[in-house]
Amino acid sequence: MTIPDTGDMLMDNGSLIAAATSPSSSPQQQKQIIRDLTNNSISKPGSLFFLISNRWFTLWKKYAGFGAYPYDEVLPEPHLLISDAADRPGPIDNSNIVATGSNFEGEDLQLLDNLEEERDYVVVSQDVWEKLFEWYKGGPVLPRKMISVGVRQELVVEVYPLCLKLIDGRDDSESTIRLSKKASLHELYERVCSLKGTDTGKVRIWDYFNNRKQALLGDSTKTLEESDLQMNQSILLEVQVDGILPTGFGMDSTGNELALIPIEPLRSSLTIAGGPTLSNGNSLGYSSSLHQGSSLSSVLTDVEDTSDILKPVLKGSSGGLAGLQNLGNTCFMNSSLQCLVHTPPLVEYFLQDYTDEINKQNPLGMHGELAVAFGELLRKIWSSGRTSIAPREFKGKLGRFAPQFSGYNQHDSQELLAFLLDGLHEDLNRVKQKPYIELKDCDGRPDEEVADEYWRYHKARNDSIIVDVCQGQYKSTLVCPDCNKISIAFDPFMYLSLPLPSTATRTMTVSVFYGDGSGLPMPYSVTVLKNGACKDLKLAVASACCLKDDEGLLLAEVYEHTIYRYLEVPLEPLSSIKDNEHIVAYRHPKTSSELTKVEICHRYLDKCPPENLKGREWKLFLAPLVSYVKDVESGADIDLVVNRLLSPLKRKAFVSSSKHFSQEKSGSTSEVCEQSTGDCSAHSGDEDQSTNEVDMEDISSRELSFRLCITDDRGLSCRPIAKDSPIKPGRLVKVMLDWTEKEHELYDASYLKDLPEVHKTGPAVKKTRPEAISLFSCLDAFLKEEPLGPDDMWYCPRCKKHRQATKKLDLWRLPEILVFHLKRFSYSRYLKNKLDTFVNFPVHDLDLSKYMKTKDASGQPYVYELYAISNHYGGLGGGHYSAYSKLIHDDRWYHFDDSHVSPVSEADIRTSAAYVLFYRRVKVESSGVGEPSRSHNVS
């Protein structure tokens, strides 16, 4: 694979100074060429890809005719006409994603930290890059190779190669080396020797993590990834001088000579690296096997002195107070791990011999390696006192089995927790051969019978310590919105993801349009509950605009002068509508379900100098209009609809006195309705309507009054229509109205411009303290009935079609360990957001009995105590994770902030940073005076 010649690029420290663009084809041709190259590209390990700044690439997409959002949306054909030369982007400019002062080139060029794909950069194939480079030149060039990661060999582009700091033991000088994590140690030796100008036979390279020698990195085919080398860590170079080794050469960090002999029998056959390990960290390459009763203790290469691992963990000792070092944006991992390693049933389980339950044959598991890695880490934490631990081996295993966590960017602690719980379950599943079981329909049977049947089927395939203590069961009820078919299932869960509702109100502005052209559009501001649904917004707007009994409202979101979506699902939460969006409502007759919907968008031909007439381009503008009509058979019918909808916009100079009077009356009535939601009987559009009908009769005898085109559902093509042009029947007809100078003279388009945002916050608005909500209100919101999302449609067995059914959840069976995930992060098409709402959760006596559809067989209430919290501080991209956890044996709370561990008062653990809550069920005994009292944990 060849990298494009960079001879035409003049760069200084990775920044573009100047580059000349080369002649190229038209925007349409460029778009088609790039699309063809992208569709025909083949990805395999070693394939070369290139990074391009999304800032420049967005300009090119606009020039070539791609929509700004979503990424692959193509604008309608009229927008693909040749753009003005001023719209053509300049040379490719990647300077904004390259670190300032970078003195490297190509694969060694240093990128800024924490870049995100599609936000900061895009990845293109070599063919696409070469074509773009041919057209625009520029740079700097950022080649990256595709590698296979994880056990399943998933293909990814290695955006960030492994960065290692080379320390020369002769003079303590530092150099930076960047290599692929798939590069071998032999390649590392060659790179180091080339940089230092020495012979490979005279050097030794050490894993020098935390300024201590961890293991000798032998010159071999072992990869850097397999050697557990971490991003931005140090490696130590030692060079023989005149055949004499430097002081300490061949010794470990304590000064002891390294004997190259296998260590028996301390190391268990459960060693994750596989096979006996030499005391210098090199593997003999023996294949590992699991033996019944073998010890889980092993010789480890992490920072702490591993001799304490073999000591038993005794109550009252300082076990469990070890911090976890941050290996580079791994605070999310440390937070989840600290919560799990302080979960009492898991501590008891992994401190015992669990080798008999490791399932190496499970195709859904990680060959037992994840369970062993977690078990060894837990044992180190509970036997190392207060020593800080670097979870390097666990991080290496995590990256192998979950490539999404293999990098060094910040991730979500709850997503990691979900993977760990599922992975540990599959690695410890006692079921070696899962039977095939076909679930039966409930067929009117009692819920108790069906629920027990589902749970037996689940346990027949899934039986592990995770299922024993962490899995519960809820009842899921689906109802088809068309045929009312009810489907009931009883599904297992490992945690509950709770939304954060709010009881506060929210002001929303909606622009209301008359679907029959009887009045001017008018904005209305209404107040609704934040946790309301679209049906609540519709009711509020209907009241504000004095909607008639025989009328309905059609809510829609307008984006870039087109209707992006209709808000037709009554139970869709209002949280899906952001403050910066534009929402409109179209008044229509209640019988509209039997009529054809006509959707009209507007466009104009932009102005340009006479000498550049070929560069003129059609552009969308104004707000779209919607009307419902009975019959649409020809272009003349469309023309009548457009005339009717635009009639209120006619300028006074072109309107008869009667028409003028009627329009003035209509406008004044609308203003009155906006100010009052009371009696709206004074409003009448009948006079306007009768006048319009007279105009329509005159128009029907002439040719079309407007330049109209029929477009498809996605607006990808336009077909001009005449008076007699047949219109294909259907529920929806989309029309494009071309505005000329004549339309601008006849109609006042200002009423259709500048739609107000849903909510405009002024700069002087004082920020208020986020309101507090209870954990119970979050649980109520989780269990309430709501519609499935458009991407999660349910296949109705009666309708034989996918339907957006309503779903209702009920708690049926609760586990010993109950995990609540507070959904603080919200995502939309335009932005990501974090909710810092304070959730008031109980530490003691969380009683969930009222939420249960069944009673406990022993008569015990479902009461829980908090024992751990995963916290997230800050916003998106720049946040930090930590954990609060209660130590098992001394009933005290501690703050685990990566390496730092400190005691914390129970009164201080409830904060707005709480993200994942861990509860353990407790037994409740009567105190003898009529009040229950807490007792021992449920075992």
- Which positions are annotated as active-site residues? 331, 880
Taken as a whole, the chain contains a residue count of: 939
Confirm if 535 and 570 have CB atoms less than 8 A apart.
yes
* C-alpha–C-alpha distance, residues 704 and 866, integer Å: 72
The HSE-up count of residue 550 (CA atoms within 13 Å, CB side) is 2
Helices (H), 433-578: 447-461, 465-470, 534-544
Structure token pair of residue 804: 């957006």
Rg of the chain in Å (alpha carbons): 34
Q: Which residue has the tokens 């109950």?
A: 818
DSSP state of 890: T
DSSP string computed for 13-78: TTEEEE-PPPP---HHHHHHHHHHHHHH----TT-EEEEEEHHHHHHHHHHHTB-SSSTT-B--GG
* C-alpha–C-alpha distance, residues 157 and 716, integer Å: 33
For residue 571, give Cα distances in angstroms to 216, 567, 735, 788: 62, 10, 30, 9
Candidates 841, 850, 856; CA nearest to 923 is 856
37 conformational bin, left if phi > 0, alpha if psi -120 to 50, beta if neither: alpha
Q: Which residues are CB-contacts of 722 (< 8 A; sequence separation ≥ 6)? A: 635, 703, 704
Sign of the C-alpha dihedral computed for residues 91, 94, 99 and 104 taken in this order: negative
Position 804: which residue type?
Answer: Q
Position 75: which residue type?
Answer: L
For 826, phi and psi rounded to 5 degrees? -120, 150
Q: How far apart are the first and last CA of the chain?
A: 61
Tally of CB atoms within 10 A around 833: 14
* C-alpha–C-alpha distance, residues 512 and 683, integer Å: 15
Between helix 27-40 and helix 54-64 the angle, nearest 10°, is 120
* C-alpha–C-alpha distance, residues 138 and 39, integer Å: 25
* C-alpha–C-alpha distance, residues 642 and 663, integer Å: 17
* C-alpha–C-alpha distance, residues 753 and 561, integer Å: 9
Class of residue 101 by CB neighbours under 10 A (exposed 0-12, middle 13-18, buried 19+): exposed
